[in-house]
Amino acid sequence: MKFVDEAQIRVEAGKGGRGHVSFRREKYVPFGGPDGGDGGDGGSVWAVADPNLNTLADFRFTQVFRAQHGEQGWRRNCAGKMGADLEVAMPLGTMVYDEGTGERMGELTRKNSRLLVAHGGWHGLGNTRFKSSTNRAPRQFSPGSPGEHRDLRLELSLMADVGLLGMPNAGKSTLLAAVSAARPKIADYPFTTLFPQPGVVSVSPQKSFVMVDIPGLIEGAAEGAGLGIRFLKHLQRTRLLLHLADLLPPPAAGRKADVAANIRKINRELKKFSADLAGREQWLVFNKADLMDGDEAEALAKRIVGKLRWKGRWFVISAAAHRGTQNLCRAAQKWVDDAQKQERKNEQAAA
């Protein structure tokens, strides 16, 4: 399926049903009085988070969503039926904007989050409501009010705890495939991955986190080189970045590849996109260790870390041979859990 992370839709709530005008007509009851019932409220439109979706692609086909109108009132003081609400399923991480005012209406950050995007119209009143001591046979009623209509702009920024970052061919998709049920495309040419893909990493039956794979970055991406940097927005909500680096990259432009320089290049592009993201917790993950002897890979990684004066954590793995991947995921899970705990504490302190 094509990945789409922006969409425009129109939502129309139902209008309220109008009130009814009628009078009791029964045998032996003269001057029966008014008995017109109220209309029903119009249905509202809700945006609802659906964890099974991860793209806004469906909105290319359906763009208008209408909730039901309320029914009109009936005689014998029977109220009209309310219009049914309409729920529009959207992926977790969807931000909803009112296109007319530019106002941000909210975002769907949790499973089952619901956001009212168009309020249904109010019901009209039947003539019974207008009865008074001076007007015993009112013919007034009120029409229902119209439901809200809105043009919405939807923006998706995937909800993931851990983001993968790195040059094309570093093995990002191979890592995601090794540790989750996701099946991203893997190939030995650059820019195999064309859109972000999340996967759930289950470290134990009770513990899991979401990892997102994005297209590779190259020098000049901020200026549009390669696939650009717009996909970095899908890392914005992550708590941890895993920066994958190929330990044995092919020579570039006739010169011996320099892993440390590659890592610096990626981080420069990251900074151009967002200082916030550049400051996020980042671990270096040296991949393709299977192409060397065990000790050699470790020693090479150590030299690169030294050259970079890297203060953060680093790992040596082989995504293809599933070596070191479990250990990496367990460490990532612990980091995510601790970050979550800390966030909850901060929220409590603020409340």
Residues of the shown chain interacting with ligand GTP in the complex, contacts defined by CB under 6 A: 166, 168-174, 186-188, 190-193, 215-216, 287-288, 290-291, 318-320
Distances (CA, A) of 218 to 18, 118, 132, 237: 62, 43, 78, 22
CB of 13 to ligand GTP, least distance (A): 43
State in angstroms the smallest separation of the CB of 214 from ligand GTP: 8
Beta strand ranges found along 50-180 (DSSP E): 64-66, 86-90, 94-98, 104-108, 114-118, 149-156, 162-166
Instruction: CB nearer to ligand GTP: give 191 or 303.
Output: 191
Nearer to Mg ion, 44 or 173 (CB): 173
If the CB atoms of residues 147 and 198 are measured against Mg ion, the closer one turns out to be 198
Residue 320 contact partner, candidates ligand GTP, Mg ion, none, CB within 5 to 8 A by sort of partner: ligand GTP
**Could you say which of ligand GTP, Mg ion, none residue 287 binds, taking C-beta under 5 to 8 angstroms by partner kind?**
ligand GTP
- Give the nearer residue to ligand GTP in terms of CB position, either 106 or 190: 190
Q: Which does 105 bind (CB under 5 to 8 A by kind): ligand GTP, Mg ion, none?
A: none
Choice between 45 and 227, CB closer to ligand GTP:
227
From ligand GTP, Mg ion, none, which one binds at residue 249 (CB under 5 to 8 Å depending on kind)?
none
User: How far apart are alpha carbons 193 and 173 in whole angstroms?
Assistant: 8
Give bridge partners of residue 6 from the DSSP assignment: 155
Q: How far is residue 318's CA from residue 169's CA, in Å, rounded to a whole number?
A: 13
123 or 288: CB nearest ligand GTP: 288
Supply the minimum distance, in Å, between the C-beta of residue 156 and ligand GTP.
20
Identify the residue among 44, 94, 180, 193 touching Mg ion (CB under 5 A): 193
With vertex at residue 267, the alpha carbon angle to CA 261 and CA 273, rounded to the nearest 5 degrees, is 145
d(CA 321, CA 6): 37
The tokens of 167 are what?
Answer: 């040059």
Tell me if 192 contacts Mg ion by CB under 5 A. Answer: yes
How far is the C-alpha of 276 from the C-alpha of 303, rounded, in Å?
A: 28
| Site for Mg ion contains 318 (CB under 5 A) | no
Contacted entry of Mg ion, ligand GTP, none for residue 79, CB cut-off 5 to 8 Å set by kind: none
User: Cβ of residue 313: shortest distance to ligand GTP, in angstroms?
Assistant: 19
* CB of 172 closer than 8 Å to CB of 166: yes
Q: Which does 187 bind (CB under 5 to 8 A by kind): Mg ion, ligand GTP, none?
A: ligand GTP
- Where are the alpha helices (H) located in the chain, listed in sequence order? 172-179, 259-273, 275-278, 294-308, 325-350
Look at the alpha carbons of 320, 322, 325, 329 in this order and tell me if their dihedral is positive or negative: positive
Choose from ligand GTP, Mg ion, none: what does 220 bind? Cβ within 5-8 Å by kind. Answer: none
Three-class HEC string of 251-271: CECCECCCHHHHHHHHHHHHH
Binding site residues, Mg ion, CB under 5 A: 172-173, 192-193
